[in-house]
Structure 1
Amino acid sequence: MADTAPQDPGLQGSGLSGKLRSVPVEVRVTVGRARPSICELLALGQEDVLPLDRRIEDPVELFIGDRLVACGELVEAEDGGLGVRITELVDGGNG
């Protein structure tokens, strides 16, 4: 028996693809981690440094949600802000 249900034109071909391309996605960049005790956290004050588990030249990780999608290096963006140069795309085949 043939399916005679009406098709939503927004779900066909490039229509859905075009709509999805305009959806904003939050990308989180991780530069390192720290595991201080609560006592150490409470002792932190202005100008103190919380050491991370990475060196400044180590790659940063880019996440979308909880999924690692790329690695890169911190750079100065054209507008003078901070940016990330993508150096490696991570294979998404794990889920």
Structure 2
Amino acid sequence: MADDTQDVTPASPFTQVPIEITISVGMARPTVRELLRLKNDSILPLDKKVDDPVELYVGDKLIARGELEEIEGDPSGQLAVRLTEVADLTSGL
């Protein structure tokens, strides 16, 4: 993943199309028995710790890593991701 930032100039109308980014905070591997026993207030342990980086994906392509944080001054406690590593998306096409 590259650390440098690049200016992106809109060269086509496709640059205005919104995309969905999935933030992965971890993975769980319960058995089928454990899965069938899940109910409200069940705890499902993940393979990551609270301070571990999260991964950002578009589809199945890893595009960045970052840290979860609350948006400062937001009374609802809305989450955001501060990017720490960004992939070089211009290569490999």
TM-score band w.r.t. shorter chain: 0.7 to 0.9
- CA drift of 1:48 comes to 1.3
The runs of 5 or more residues in structure 1 that have no matched partner are 1-13
The runs of 5 or more residues in structure 2 that have no matched partner are 1-8
**Residue type matched to 1:86 in 2?**
L
Moved runs in structure 1, 4+ residues, more than 6 A?
A: none
**Residue type matched to 1:70 in 2?**
A
2:55 aligned to which of 41, 54, 61: 61
Higher CA-based Rg: 1
Identity fraction in percent: 47
| Residue aligning to 2:84 | 87
| Residue aligning to 2:17 | 23
Higher relative contact order (CA 8 A, sep 6+): 2
How large is the RMSD of aligned CA atoms in angstroms?
1.9
TM-score using structure 1 length: 0.75
User: C-alpha separation between the residues in 1 aligned to 2:92 and 2:29?
Assistant: 27
2:30 aligned to which of 32, 36, 41: 36
User: C-alpha separation between the residues in 2 aligned to 1:56 and 1:94?
Assistant: 33
User: C-alpha separation between the residues in 2 aligned to 1:68 and 1:23?
Assistant: 19
- CA drift of 1:17 comes to 2.0
